[in-house]
Amino acid sequence: AEILAAIKSGGEVAAKAVGERLDSFSGDIIVGPEEIENAAQIVPDQLKEDLKFAYDRVREFAEKQRESIKEFETELSPGLWAGQKLIPIETAGCYVPGGRYAHVASAIMSISTAKVAGVENIIACSAPNKGHGGIHPAILYTMDMCGADHILALGGVQGIAAMAYGLFTGHKANILVGPGNRFVSEAKRLLFGQVGIDLLAGPTEILIIADATADPEVVAHDLVGQAEHGPDSPAWLVTKSRKLAEDTMALMQGLIDAMPEVQRNAADAAWRDYGEVVLCDTDEEVVQVSDNYGPEHLELQVENLNWYVDRLKNYGSLFVGEEATVAFGDKCSGTNHILPTKRASHYTGGLSVHKFIKVVTTQRSTREANREVAAVTARISRLEGMEGHARTGDVRLSKYFPDETFILSP
Q: Which is the catalytic residue, given 103, 171, 229, 297?
A: 297
Residue 221 falls in the annotated catalytic set: no
Select which of 296, 299, 322, 337 is catalytic: 296
Distance CA 40, CA 394 (A): 67
* The CA-based dihedral angle spanning residues 251, 254, 258, 259, taken in that order and rounded to the nearest 10 degrees: 70
- Which amino acid is residue 77, in one-letter code? S
User: CA distances (Å), 141 to each of 41, 119, 158, 306, 399, in order?
Assistant: 9, 20, 22, 40, 63
135 vs 294: CA distance, rounded Å: 35
Which sign does the torsion angle of CA 26, 129, 42, 12 carry? negative
Q: Do 111 and 122 touch, CB atoms closer than 8 A?
A: yes
Question: Per this entry, what is the length of the chain?
Answer: 410
Q: Are 219 and 323 in contact (CB under 8 A)?
A: no
For residues 191 and 159, give the distance between their C-alpha atoms in angstroms, rounded to a whole number: 13
Report CA-CA distances (Å) from 384 to 141, 220, 389, 406: 58, 60, 10, 19
Task: Indicate if 246 belongs to the active site.
Answer: no
Catalytic residues: 296-297
